Chains A and B, each alone.
Chain A
Amino acid sequence: MARPLTVLVVDDEPPIRRFLRTSLTAAGYRVSEAEDGAAATRLLPAEKPDLVILDLGLPGKSGLELISEIRANSTVPIVVLSARHDERSKVEALDLGADDYVSKPFGMDELMARLRAALRHAFQAQGELPVFVSGDLAVDLVRRHVTRSGHEVKLSPKEFDLLRHLVMHAGKVLTHRQLLREVWGPAQAEEVQYLRVFIRGLRQKLEPDPTRPVHILTELGVGYRLQLPPEQRA
């Protein structure tokens, strides 16, 4: 990229803002900070960030509110910082439009991976869909063709739909609801066990060791994520 990407960090804890600034700057981003929702609202039109890192546990205007506000007139990628056991907030944030989440405490590896994934999709929203290659897996979404080590893998239509959706958001987490809605339609948004069964089936077919998956990862209590190939992770 020519110009450095701008990241808006919204977090009320100074130490976190500090280390994020340092790390993101070292990674080549430009950082702008806001300590609460009000400040963020002010800064957004001015800074026009390429990505927002948002702490869900903000005082005052809650993080979720802010997400709704941002999504009202922007598709800027949002990665939320959440508390460890708070699956419900994570899911809600994702459903409201956040792109991904990182649980506190987190390591920079994880954060960087999420940022990269979120940014990648922002830039690839338009444009053609390439073949997804990771390890011995290759998925061609246009020709609806999946291979493992060159051998074709037969998938049922629903299985393929599921995989396609995962591929389109590769690297990002997708909630159960999002997947169900996409593949089965809004009416089946609550039937998580269908999803599980299908994921299981996909894993059986695609994973070298279905019990220890390396492609389709479980995000417990939230959803699933298709892991980016190693070279594309941060």
Chain B
Amino acid sequence: MAERDGRPSPEALLAAAKQEGRGKLKIFLGAAPGVGKTYEMLLAAQAKRRDGADVVVGVVETHGRRETEALLEGLEVIPRREVDYKGHLLAEMDLDAILKRHPELVLVDELAHTNAPGSRHPKRYVDVEELIAAGIDVFTTLNIQHVESLNDVVARITRIRVRETVPDSILDQADDIEVVDLSPEDLIKRLREGKVYVPQQAERAVRHYFSQGNLTALRELALRRTAQRVDEQLLSHMRAHAISGPWPAGERVLVCVSEAPSTGGLIRYARRVADHLRAPWTAVYVETTRTHRLSVAERDRIADFLRLAERLGASTITIPGRNIADEVAAYAAANNITQIVIGKSSRSRWFEMVHGSVVHELVRKTGSISVHVISADDSDAVPPKSIQTRPDFEPIRIQPYLGSAGSIAVALGVGLLLKHFIAVQSISLVFLMAVLASAIAWGLWPSLIAAIASMLAYNFFFLPPLYTFTVADPENVLALFFFLIVAVIVSNLTARTRSQVLTARSRAKTTAELYAFSRKVAGIGALDDLLWATAYQISSMLKVRAVLLMPAKDAEGLEVASGYPPEDRLDQTDMAAARWTWEHNRAAGRGADTLPGGKRLFLPLRTGSGPVGVLGIDRDTPGPLLTPDDRRLLDALCDQAAVAIERISLAKGLDEARLLAETERLRGALLTSISHDLRTPLASILGAVSSLRRFPEKYGPAEREDLLATLQDEAERLNRFVCNLLDMTRLESGAIELKLELIDVAEIVGSALQRAGNVLAGHHVEVDIAPDLPMLRLDAVLFEQVLFNLLDNAAKYSPPASRIDIRATRDGGLVEIEVADEGSGIPAADREHVFDKFYRVQAQDRRRAGTGLGLAICRGFVESLGGWIVARNRRDRSGAVLTIRMPAEPEIAGARQPALAHG
């Protein structure tokens, strides 16, 4: 991640850039209640106010302490919002009022507080995030035990587990952390003096909490955490400014997630290890066949743990496999993992003997990688879900059991038939086949029932004494017993295989659908089609109603862009939730953390550069919308759709940028051109004239004539340039009014030749006009200008005394006029470019004079007259040929003398 060559790391720069425009967060961190965090915060706020900052109080708990209350003096307090919750009146911080007031700095006490239901966010720290995002600075207070990654450490120390936690990311993002420190002795003294607020709790617990040992440990924790944070700041500063330092070696940490509740502590431990090593870390879950036999709660827990790990800064991955240890070891080897964190097995030795211990296997297989085996607290510390998920369950069906009963019946029949031909013992194999069939077709429980039923049937119908459930021969009893064992084992194994096949099939189906979607999406070029395809895919894959919102084109906010089933309007609550999701890049709405009262759940479609749209889903059935599997699938679909949307808008942006760049280029070329090519003749003119005036006696008549001739030539050249520019302007602005009339080709060629007399002076011109050319319907002046430009060009780009040919011939319904020179020709690649504005062939290093507009004007005029013009090189010698093709007037083609004339 760090660049060793001394360049600032992109991540650091990106992070630094992201900080702009956001408010600054300062956390007053304390080891325990009562150290005086609120007091310190108010002191700092008063100081700021004296400096002239605009400070308001969002929420401050004084707990009746007079010194604290005194500090509130002079500070504007935003009144709290009253929320009625089950008959109680709760006063919560009024987030909207603060946003509206938009102060420079707001004081928000107790960052870990949980808001009353009905608030926009369930937790106050999410409120604070919103304030920061809006550009408002925040001072806040926090106790060390509320920090998520330290939660269980603190709980172990104090034996009080605090449930309100704040994610570590808040601390990491905070711009400043000030530890409000008080020695344990002083704190205990304050407690005794009644100056410390403690919520109503058991006396004993409180006393234990405020013991020397405890407080010291907490204090150390707070100090150490802040020191670590300072360290990180230093590092990021160093990285951002490319100060090279002793970077950590490439450590990478991996933590193995299981369904055991202790995984939570494991993850937090892994986070601390990763922090300590300043290494990236990953949480991995290996999905085996066991996964399907887990209860819904357990599977939810796994998903929650993975999300917790993500929140704490890990990347997460789920790997399917047969053997956990094998998969973890393989992944670790492939990804250069240096430390693995795994939970200590809580299983009995017997179990371990039979099933093997994952831990032992892992230790053996991972070679040089360190394995941390952690025994974490078993107590339940499940973090709150950010989106409630629906358990998926299947109703019990009767059909499989009937089926398996039927197969036993069939086996019985076959057995009875074969009774006379084969030994009784062999008939058990027939029943075994029936059990096998049941397992394959219907799964574990029906096949177990089948096993038992076949055992009974076998006993009843085949073992003497017949038609009873007793067995005479002890050998037969043993046989029966083993039959049952075999039947059960067969059921088990086959059922397992079957469920694996089913899982694999469903996963293959999902993957195939995702793949098909991604291929479809890759081929779509239009935004509307893409949005429709996405809505349809999400809707059909997840059986929900989907609606996609995009930023409105000419207004603020979002508008509905597509939906399946088609939808074009959302009610106000939904719109608010959608807008929130867009602004904060997080889920909102039904079942989420924010604005949970809406009809739909809104998820951001985001890519690396931010949100590109919002997806809203809903379903008629009440309760949470998605199972954890659904959620993962949806994430995958959303990611693909987001990337495709971004691609399309980038392509459009690219086109616009290209157009803009081209316009700029032309403008630049025009200015350069005018500047140079008009100043050059002007310079000659001014120079010659001023020289003649200044030194009249120095010039003899011949020299004077020479200078004056130059003057006239340059002035005429200037005239031609100006004419070209004017023509180009007329073409561009569409101001050309064509005066079409029938003209004679020979005539107009003659006229052009006459006008170009001077220009063609040094060349030999050959004219070859076919005798019976039809007349052309043209604007004479325009067309003559075209011919003039072609002649001018030919003269310019060919050596003096060389030949210039003009030919006009007929070609079916067209008249073709060619101007050929004996110059150096046009480079093959530039054949089309010669008609571009401001294009000039670079002839070695001499740039020919001319604004480069001549041919562009030719093309413009010719095309507006309905013809076309092309350039190519001569085949017989070096030189260029410019060819104009114009459609001829059919009626006049034959008639040379109009009917009315007589002569």
Contact = CB atoms under 8 A, between A and B. Distances in A.
Interface of A: 84-85, 87-88, 105, 107, 156-159, 184, 188, 191-194, 196-200, 209-213, 217-218, 220-221
B750 A193 contact: no
28 contacts: A87-B781, A105-B719, A156-B903, A158-B901, A158-B902, A184-B900, A184-B901, A191-B898, A192-B741, A193-B741, A193-B892, A197-B896, A197-B897, A200-B746, A209-B767, A210-B750, A211-B746, A211-B750, A211-B767, A211-B769, A212-B754, A212-B767, A213-B750, A218-B747, A218-B754, A220-B780, A221-B739, A221-B780
Contacts of A84: 723
B898 A196 contact: no
Which of B749, B775, B780 has most A Cβ within 10 Å?
Answer: B780
Contacts of A105: 715, 719
Nearest to A213: B750
B744 interface: yes
Nearest to B784: A220
A212 B753 contact: yes
Q: What are the nearest 5 A-B pairs in CB distance? A: A156-B903, A193-B742, A158-B903, A218-B751, A211-B767
B712 interface: yes
B896 A220 contact: no
Contacts of A159: 903
B865 interface: no
Contacts of B781: 85, 87, 220-221
Contact of B901 (A107, A198, A211): A198
A188 B900 contact: yes
A224 to B, nearest CB: 10
B743 interface: yes
Which of B723, B750, B751, B892 has most A Cβ within 10 Å?
Answer: B750
Nearest to B899: A194
Contacts of A194: 898, 900-901
Given A84-B723, A193-B898, A211-B753, 5 more contacts: A191-B900, A193-B741, A196-B744, A211-B769, A218-B754
Which of A85, A88, A156 has most B Cβ within 10 Å?
Answer: A85
Nearest to B755: A220
Interface string B726-754: 10000000000001011110111111011
Given A85-B781, A211-B749, A212-B750, A196 B743 contact: yes
Contact of B754 (A107, A157, A192, A217): A217
Nearest to A160: B903
A157 B901 CA distance: 10
A145 B903 CA distance: 16
Contacts of B719: 105
A20 to B, nearest CB: 17
A184 B902 CA distance: 10
Contacts of B715: 105
Interface string B707-718: 000001001000
Nearest to B742: A193
A192 B739 CA distance: 12
Contacts of A191: 898, 900
A146 to B, nearest CB: 14
B747 A87 contact: no
Nearest to A193: B742
A217 B767 CA distance: 17
Interface in B876-898: 892, 896-898
Nearest to B719: A105
A51 B892 CA distance: 43
Nearest to B723: A84
Interface of B: 712, 715, 719, 723, 726, 739, 741-744, 746-751, 753-754, 767, 769, 775, 780-781, 784, 892, 896-898, 900-903
Nearest to A104: B719
Contacts of B754: 212, 217-218
A120 to B, nearest CB: 23
Nearest to A200: B744
A211 B753 CA distance: 9
A54 B683 CA distance: 31
B900 A199 contact: no
B686 to A, nearest CB: 15
Contacts of A193: 741-742, 775, 892, 898
Given A157-B903, A194-B901, A211-B769, A199 B780 contact: no
Contacts of A210: 746, 750
Contacts of A107: 712
Contacts of B898: 191, 193-194, 197
A16 B779 CA distance: 31
A156 B748 CA distance: 24
Nearest to B749: A211
B757 to A, nearest CB: 10
A220 B741 CA distance: 12
A209 B747 CA distance: 12
Nearest to B903: A156
B750 A218 contact: yes
A165 to B, nearest CB: 15
A111 to B, nearest CB: 14
B692 to A, nearest CB: 15
Which of B726, B747, B897 has most A Cβ within 10 Å?
Answer: B747
A213 B767 CA distance: 12
Nearest to B767: A211
A210 B744 CA distance: 12
Contacts of A188: 900
Contacts of A158: 901-903
A184 B900 CA distance: 9
A84 to B, nearest CB: 7
Contact of A192 (B742, B748, B750, B753): B742
A184 B899 CA distance: 13
Contacts of A156: 903
B520 to A, nearest CB: 57
A149 B900 CA distance: 32
A218 B744 CA distance: 11
B745 to A, nearest CB: 9
Contacts of B747: 196, 199-200, 218
Contacts of A209: 767
Nearest to A156: B903
Contacts of B901: 158, 184, 194, 197-198
A192 to B, nearest CB: 5
Contacts of B753: 211-212
Nearest to B768: A211
A193 B715 CA distance: 36
Contacts of B744: 196-197, 199-200
Nearest to B769: A211
Which of A85, A159, A199, A220 has most B Cβ within 10 Å?
Answer: A220
Contacts of B775: 193, 196
Nearest to A107: B712
Contacts of B739: 87-88, 221
B658 to A, nearest CB: 35
A124 to B, nearest CB: 27
Contacts of A221: 739, 780-781
A218 B903 CA distance: 23
A156 B901 CA distance: 10
A179 B781 CA distance: 20
Contacts of A198: 901
A169 B407 CA distance: 122
A88 to B, nearest CB: 8
A218 B316 CA distance: 86
A172 B900 CA distance: 28
A156 B753 CA distance: 29
A218 B743 CA distance: 11
Contacts of B749: 211
B751 A220 contact: yes
A105 B719 CA distance: 8
B62 to A, nearest CB: 84
B767 to A, nearest CB: 5
Contacts of A199: 744, 747
A84 B712 CA distance: 18
